C-alpha cells in the first residue's frame, strides 16, 4: 500500500493531501502546500488523488476533499478536513517543530483535552458538534440535525469537528458516543440524529432545548435597551452611510446619552424592525421603545427646538 512506502518516511513529517481534480478548493490548497514546502524543506508534501486510491481513502476514512493527513514515523498523528489554509499552516508549523517522535508517557495533554471538551460542551446552553457549519453542513446527518433544530426554532451554537482532529477524536471518548453529529444541552449529551428524531416525534424536543426568543420579543427588548436607541448602519465610532453619519452628528451635538445597534450585523433585525415599526428605512431613532423617526424627522425636530425634550422623554 502506498503509504507504507519506506521512502516517504525519510523525513520526520509527511503531509498527504487527498485531492480531486474536479474540486477548485483542492487546486487552491495545492498552491498553499507549494508555499509551505518552500518554508519547511524538512517536511514531505505528497498529493494523492483520493478516487484513484480507493483502498487508501477507505482505510483513512477520507469522505470529502480536500483532506490532509499528517504522518510521523509511519504513524498518523493528525488530520484536517476541508480547505482551511490558516489551519493547515498552523498544523504544519506545530508538527514540524515538535520533533520527530510523538511524546510518550506524558499525561498532561489528556488532562487539558478533557478540560477543553468540558468547556466546549458548556460553551452555549445548546451545543451541536457537527461536520461543517449550520450554513454549510458537510454530511447528510449534520444537515438533517440542523434542519430539525431550525424547524423547532431552537437556539444553538455549533462546533465544526473537521476543524479540530483532537476534539473530533477526544469527544467520542469523553461522551462515549462514537459518531457525529452530537447534541449537548447544559453540557450533557442528549444524543445523535436518531435520538433527536425520536424526541421530535414524541414532542419532547421542545421541552429539552432552549428556544430562540421570538423576533418580536427580541425587537421589543432591543428598542428598550437604552432610553435613547439608534438603529443605524455602522456604529458610533464609524457610520457606514451618510444618513447614519448625519444623525450621529445631531445626537452628539445634544450631549444626550444614547446606544446604537448596527443593523448590518444582523439581517433578521434589519428586516424585522421595518415591519415592527412600520418604517422602511434606516437610521431609526427610538426613545423609551417608541419610534421617533428617521433623519428627516430628527432634523425637523432639531430645527423646531423639540428634539431635546423628546430625547429626555419629556414629551
Q: What is the pLDDT of residue 107?
A: 46
Q: Where are the beta strands (DSSP E) in the chain?
A: 13-19, 43-49, 67-72, 75-81, 126-130, 157-160, 182-185, 188-191, 228-232, 259-262, 284-287, 290-293
Give 237-278 pLDDT, tens digit per residue. Answer: 999 999 999 999 999 999 999 999 999 988 889 989 998 899
Max avg pLDDT among 10-14, 74-78, 144-148, 209-213: 144-148
Residue 193 pLDDT exceeds 80 = yes
Greatest alpha-carbon pair distance for the chain in Å reads 86
Q: What is the pLDDT of residue 109?
A: 58
- Print burial letters for 276-305: b (CB count within 10 Å at least 16), e (below 16): bbeeeebbbbbbeeebbbbbeebeebeeee
Residue 214 pLDDT exceeds 80 = no
Residue 210 pLDDT exceeds 90 = no
Q: Are 158 and 128 in contact (CB under 8 A)?
A: yes
Separation between Cα atoms, residue 62 and residue 16, nearest integer Å: 12
Q: Are 270 and 222 in contact (CB under 8 A)?
A: no
CA distances from 273 to 219, 222, 293, 311 (A): 7, 10, 13, 20
Give 99-136 pLDDT, tens digit per residue. Answer: 544 444 444 555 588 899 999 999 888 999 999 999 88
Q: What is the pLDDT of residue 104?
A: 40
Separation between Cα atoms, residue 80 and residue 164, nearest integer Å: 7
Separation between Cα atoms, residue 278 and residue 280, nearest integer Å: 6
Separation between Cα atoms, residue 164 and residue 81, nearest integer Å: 9
Residue 37 pLDDT exceeds 50 = yes
The mean pLDDT of 90-103, rounded to a whole number, is: 70
Q: Are 292 and 283 in contact (CB under 8 A)?
A: no
pLDDT interval class at 22 (50, 70, 90): confident
Does an H or E element contain 233, and which? none
CA distances from 233 to 11, 227, 237, 263, 267 (A): 54, 19, 11, 6, 12
CA distances from 79 to 56, 70, 276, 296 (A): 14, 6, 48, 57
Residue 314 pLDDT exceeds 90 = no
Max avg pLDDT among 59-68, 138-147, 150-159, 201-210: 138-147
Q: What is the pLDDT of residue 25?
A: 86
Residue 8 pLDDT exceeds 50 = no
Q: What is the pLDDT of residue 258?
A: 96
Q: What is the pLDDT of residue 102?
A: 43
For the four alpha carbons of 25, 29, 30 and 31, in that order, the dihedral sign comes to positive
Mean pLDDT estimate for the chain: 87
Distance of CA 305 to the CA centre of its chain: 47
Q: What is the pLDDT of residue 47?
A: 92
Q: What is the pLDDT of residue 64?
A: 84
Amino acid at each position: 500500500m502506498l503509504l507504507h512506502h519506506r521512502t516517504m518516511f525519510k523525513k520526520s513529517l509527511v503531509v498527504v493531501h487527498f485531492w480531486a481534480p474536479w474540486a477548485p478548493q483542492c487546486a487552491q490548497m495545492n498552491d498553499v502546500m507549494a508555499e509551505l514546502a518552500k518554508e519547511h524543506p524538512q517536511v514531505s508534501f505528497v498529493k494523492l488523488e483520493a478516487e484513484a486510491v480507493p483502498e487508501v481513502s477507505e482505510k483513512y476514512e477520507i469522505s470529502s476533499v480536500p483532506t490532509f493527513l499528517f504522518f510521523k514515523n509511519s504513524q498518523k498523528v493528525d488530520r484536517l478536513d476541508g480547505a482551511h489554509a490558516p489551519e493547515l499552516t498552523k498544523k504544519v508549523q506545530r508538527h514540524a517543530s515538535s520533533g520527530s517522535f510523538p511524546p510518550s508517557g506524558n499525561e498532561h495533554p489528556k488532562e487539558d483535552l478533557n478540560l477543553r471538551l468540558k468547556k466546549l460542551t458548556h460553551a452555549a446552553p445548546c451545543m451541536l458538534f457537527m461536520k461543517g457549519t449550520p450554513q454549510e453542513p458537510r454530511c447528510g446527518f449534520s444537515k438533517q440535525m440542523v434542519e430539525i433544530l431550525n424547524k423547532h426554532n431552537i437556539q444553538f451554537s455549533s462546533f465544526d469537528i473537521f476543524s479540530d482532529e483532537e476534539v473530533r477524536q477526544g469527544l467520542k471518548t469523553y461522551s462515549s458516543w462514537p459518531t457525529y453529529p452530537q447534541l449537548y444541552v447544559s453540557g450533557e449529551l442528549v444524543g445523535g440524529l436518531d435520538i433527536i428524531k425520536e424526541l421530535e416525534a414524541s414532542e419532547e424536543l421542545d421541552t429539552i432545548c432552549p428556544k430562540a426568543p421570538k423576533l418580536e420579543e427580541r425587537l421589543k427588548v432591543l428598542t428598550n435597551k437604552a432610553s435613547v436607541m439608534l438603529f443605524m448602519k455602522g456604529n458610533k465610532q464609524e457610520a457606514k452611510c451618510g444618513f447614519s453619519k448625519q444623525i450621529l452628528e445631531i445626537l452628539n451635538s445634544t450631549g444626550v446619552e444614547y446606544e446604537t445597534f448596527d443593523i448590518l450585523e444582523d439581517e433578521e433585525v434589519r428586516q424585522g424592525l421595518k415591519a415592527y415599526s412600520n418604517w422602511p428605512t434606516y437610521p431609526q431613532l427610538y426613545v423609551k421603545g417608541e419610534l421617533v423617526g428617521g433623519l428627516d424627522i430628527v432634523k425637523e425636530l432639531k430645527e423646531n427646538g423639540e428634539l431635546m425634550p423628546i430625547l429626555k422623554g419629556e414629551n
